Amino acid sequence: MSRIHPAENTQQDYLSIENGDHINRPSPSVLTVWKRSSMTFQGTDGFTVFDSHGTLAFRVDNYTRKSPCSTGGLVLMDGTGKALLSLKPQILSMQLQWNAYRGGEDECGKSSRLFAMRRPISLINNSSKYEAEIFIGGPTKGSQPTPDFRIEGSFARRNCKIIKTSTSSPSGQVLVAKISRKKVNKTVMLNDDVFSLQVQPGFDLQLIMAFVVVLDRICRKPFAPVLCS
């Protein structure tokens, strides 16, 4: 496949103009996500993620192609193959909940849950504009807690936002990241197996990438085969 990662001058697009002067401000991190395993042999799927310099930043290699409803999980790794986060589906969850833990699969029982992501109950009743909700540490039992993050838009169409709940913001929320189709130029767009992830400064890239991996499992395209993503 041809070069798919962002160009070196991507950061220049985020220069602000104020009072006629160019002012450098912290720029979003722009990742290119390729919906393909870094392992090229048959029987694997996953993710290969590049930073703005074309360096391999994250990878997910899935050897089993298990159903999202099975007990099989996924491991988010850095570019060298070091396990960062283990992602596990919640067994018998009507909301397709997934849980995240630090480290590899063998460390899941040794670390507390980092976050839980699930489909909103209101979405099941077709009354929600959000595709998923994320609770840091997990949702509180016996109540209806406010999610720490929400996914707004359509992940299947590669057009959505990750939003953080914020009491200090007038709107009650802060933009964390955007997912969009990858453009080669102004007129040519790649297929939806390659897309851009733009993360605002101050947010943990591996955490946001973990959100994307789980989104791929719980927000599948209509009529998509269950055994592959």
138: left (phi over 0), alpha (psi -120 to 50) or beta: left
Q: Which residue has the higher pLDDT, 39 or 31?
A: 31
Residue with tokens 């397709």: 96
Q: Which residue has the higher pLDDT, 215 or 120?
A: 215
Q: Is the pLDDT of residue 53 over 50?
A: yes
Per residue in 79-115, pLDDT tens?
999 999 999 998 878 788 999 999 987 666 667 899 9
Which whole number is the average pLDDT over 37-58? 80
Q: Average pLDDT, whole number, for the chain?
A: 78
**Measured over all CA atoms, what is the biggest interatomic distance in the chain, rounded to whole angstroms?**
58
Q: List the chain domain ranges.
A: 8-218
CB 194 within 8 A of CB 33: yes
Q: Is the pLDDT of residue 220 over 90?
A: no
pLDDT at position 202 is: 93
CB 72 within 8 A of CB 229: no
Domain spanning 8-218: CATH 3.40.50.720: no
Confidence of residue 191 (pLDDT cuts 50, 70, 90): confident
Confidence of residue 168 (pLDDT cuts 50, 70, 90): confident
Confidence of residue 16 (pLDDT cuts 50, 70, 90): very low
pLDDT at position 223 is: 38
Confidence of residue 136 (pLDDT cuts 50, 70, 90): very high
CB 121 within 8 A of CB 144: no
Residue 168: other Cβ atoms inside 10 A: 6
Q: Which residue has the higher pLDDT, 229 or 85?
A: 85
Which whole number is the average pLDDT over 48-75? 77
23-27, 47-51, 91-95: which is most confident = 47-51
Apex 122 CA angle, 120 and 125, nearest 5: 125
- Give the closest residue to 148 by CA, choosing from 162, 127, 161, 158: 162
Rounded to two decimals, what is the model's pTM? 0.78
